[in-house]
Amino acid sequence: MGVFAALRNHARCFTQCTLDDEKERKMLQIEDLQVKLGDKEILKHIDLEIHPGETHILFGPNGSGKTSLLMTIMGYPQYRVTGGKILFKGKDITHMPVDERAQLGISMSYQRPPTIHGVKTRQMVQICAKGEVDVEALATKMNFSEFLERDINAGFSGGEIKRSELLQLMAQDADMLLFDEPESGVDLENISLIGNTISKLLQRDFMVKSEKTQKERRKERTKMGLIITHTGFILDYVTADKGQVLYEGVLVCTTSPREIFRTISEVGYEECVRCVS
């Protein structure tokens, strides 16, 4: 290798390294997080890091605290942080109000969002996009055009709620996306639409004949995802880097999501009980 080539290489590494550092600073970092809902301790000493470009799947039986963890990250005040902290993009957001977190780049797809009478779905999409947005085009993608003039979530079926939530997240275009059981209540016809949309939102969709290689695209990926799943269906559509198991408020396990799903499918959460005790 000639001197110039070596220098060029070095320079590239230097740029790449700073870029990586830059990227890393944007991660979500949860340290020793303890949360109470009312008087009940629902999250116990949670440590979790989601790096830019990473997607994690969150497993756990009913009532284990999965939704609570998402709501705490989003900043819902009834989830009272009694210890530990949450950092996002280098900022301590532990006690930051919901709207500021949203502005900083956190978004959430809810399982049971409230109905707001008189507020149309179209308006919600505009709110998410902070103004300029081609609502029709987005809605067409989500097969949701006929719902735009309806009051948000009013009389929506389970599957319609999911499509509405994803439509809003598409408009919001946040860096950190939290999904609370995105596939629950979705009929077979729409499950691939939901799955593929999430995949796209998390920059994990496969592009045929893309100018960039898949490897390059992976490297450039910045979106962070945390997905709660009950059925595991979502794993057929969304690739994920890590799986986490939450059991009675404790993160008991971190490994490949496929492996966790397989274990749960085979023996249920029995196996997790052994790790807790």
| Residues near other proteins (CB under 8 A) | 74-77, 97-99, 101-103, 107-108, 110, 113-114, 116-119, 123-124, 127-128, 130, 151, 168, 172
Residue with tokens 């929506």: 156
**Least separation, in Å, of the C-beta of 127 and other proteins?**
5
The nearer residue to other proteins, 167 or 272, going by C-beta atoms, is 167
Query: Toward other proteins, which CB reaches closer, 160 or 248?
Result: 160
Whole-angstrom distance, CA of residue 142 vs CA of residue 163: 6
Rounded distance between C-alpha atoms, residue 183 and residue 236, angstroms = 11
Taking the complex as a whole, how short is the minimal distance between the CB of residue 76 and other proteins, in angstroms?
6
Q: Which is nearer to other proteins, 43 or 108 (CB)?
A: 108
Nearest alpha carbon to residue 148 among 126, 170, 129, 130: 126
Separate counts of helices (H) and strands (E) for the chain: 10, 12
Measured from the CB of residue 152, what is the shortest distance to other proteins in angstroms?
Answer: 9
If the CB atoms of residues 90 and 97 are measured against other proteins, the closer one turns out to be 97
Handedness of CA 106, 244, 92, 202 (dihedral sign): negative
Instruction: List the one residue out of 212, 204, 265, 196 whose CA is nearest residue 239.
Output: 204
Of the pair 151, 241, the CB lying nearest other proteins is at 151
CB of 70 to other proteins, least distance (A): 11
Query: What distance lies between CA 96 and its chain's CA centroid?
Result: 19
| Closest CB 27 distance from other proteins, rounded Å | 20
